[in-house]
Amino acid sequence: MSAPPDVPSADHVDPVPGAAPGLLWYLTEPTRAVVDIGQFAAARSLLRAAPSGDGHTVLVLPGLGGGDGTTAMLRKFLHGLGYDVRGWGLGRNIGPSVAVVHGMRALLRDLAGAGPVSLVGWSLGGIFARELAREHPYLVRQVVTLGSPYAMTDLRQTRVNPVYRLLARFYVAGADLPPPEHTRPPMPVPATSVYSKSDGIVAWRTCVSEPGPRRENVAVASSHLGYGYNSTVWWVVADRLAQPAGEWSPFTPPPGMARMFPTG
């Protein structure tokens, strides 16, 4: 899938390494999210060929400001593939509040009673997913993040910095930003980071890590607000979840779909 025709030119992509996305990328986010939804409708037939699931539990975590309603379409798609899909049930994601931190831990423990759980997190939800995997690696089968700035070292690398600061009074002390990613031990479970260079909310470089054993970065053409409705994103998620337990190999676009995925 090529970039939507109404997006800014490449000159506006991340003009300063590590800085927030360019202003035009940010201002066109709502319009491009609508385009993502429209392109999804046109590509629904392709998604019928997505690999089926094995029934294991998948927990989907929403982004900052979102709730389970924002992930409903993605969860319905995954349910149709045969997974036991769950929303987080913790209301609107306002950041790492006491209720959210304890609630996610309890939810993961409950869901993992039938076996390790796959975690899919959108934006801030992906940061939460990675932290849960680090805390409880034996309860997590794999992590897939969608535009999650887990490698962010400065809140100026996101366009939602003011919102994050406004909500900070609800946060667990010291939990507004996890320690820098490069100081952390390797992810203990397979991890796939889905990112877009046309992300208008977070700097795309904050959404990737050095590829290595059982970890990868997959580029898509999507707005930040459109990750949950983008057909190529859905295909990546379905492909990653369909890997047999205990096995992992890097993502490869299926024949005939390679042009839908940017080369990096």
**Chain Cα centroid distance, residue 11:** 25
Looking at residue 40, its pLDDT comes to 65
Beta-bridge partners for 85: 58
Contact 157, 208 (CB under 8 A): no
Which single residue is written with the structure tokens 């990653």?
Answer: 240
Q: Where are the domains of the chain?
A: 10-260
Q: What is the mean pLDDT of residues 224-241?
A: 94
Q: Give the phi and the psi of residue 143 in degrees, each rounded to 5.
A: -130, 135
Q: Give the pairing type, strands 84-87 and 117-122.
A: unpaired
Q: Given CA atoms 75, 76, 82, 84 in this order, what sign does their dihedral have?
A: positive
Tell me the per-residue pLDDT of 172-213, one tens digit each, with 9 for 90 and over: 554 545 566 777 788 999 999 999 999 989 999 999 998 888
Secondary element (H or E) of residue 71: none
Q: How far is it, in rounded angstroms, from Cα 182 to Cα 167?
A: 26
Q: Range with the lowest mean pLDDT among 21-30, 69-78, 239-248?
A: 21-30
pLDDT tens per residue across span 122-153: 999 999 999 999 999 999 999 999 999 998 87
* pLDDT of 171 above 50: yes
pLDDT per residue as tens digits for the range 11-41: 333 444 458 777 766 667 778 777 777 676 6
Q: What is the pTM of this model?
A: 0.86
**Is pLDDT of 170 > 80?**
no
Q: Which two tokens stand for residue 176?
A: 């507004």
- Are 128 and 95 within 8 A, CB to CB? no
Mean pLDDT over all residues of the chain?
83
Structure tokens at 236: 């990546």
Average pLDDT, integer, range 40-64: 86
Indicate whether 216 pLDDT > 60: yes
Domain 10-260 in this protein, CATH class:
alpha beta
Distance (Å, rounded) from C-alpha 9 to C-alpha 33? 17
For 113, list phi and psi in degrees, rounded to 5.
-60, -30
For residue 8, name the pLDDT band (cuts at 50, 70, 90): very low
Q: What is the token pair recorded at 222?
A: 């999507």
**60: part of which helix (H) or strand (E)?**
strand 57-61
Query: How many whole angstroms separate alpha carbon 53 and alpha carbon 178?
Result: 32
Whether the Cβ atoms of residue 112 and residue 125 lie closer than 8 Å to each other:
no
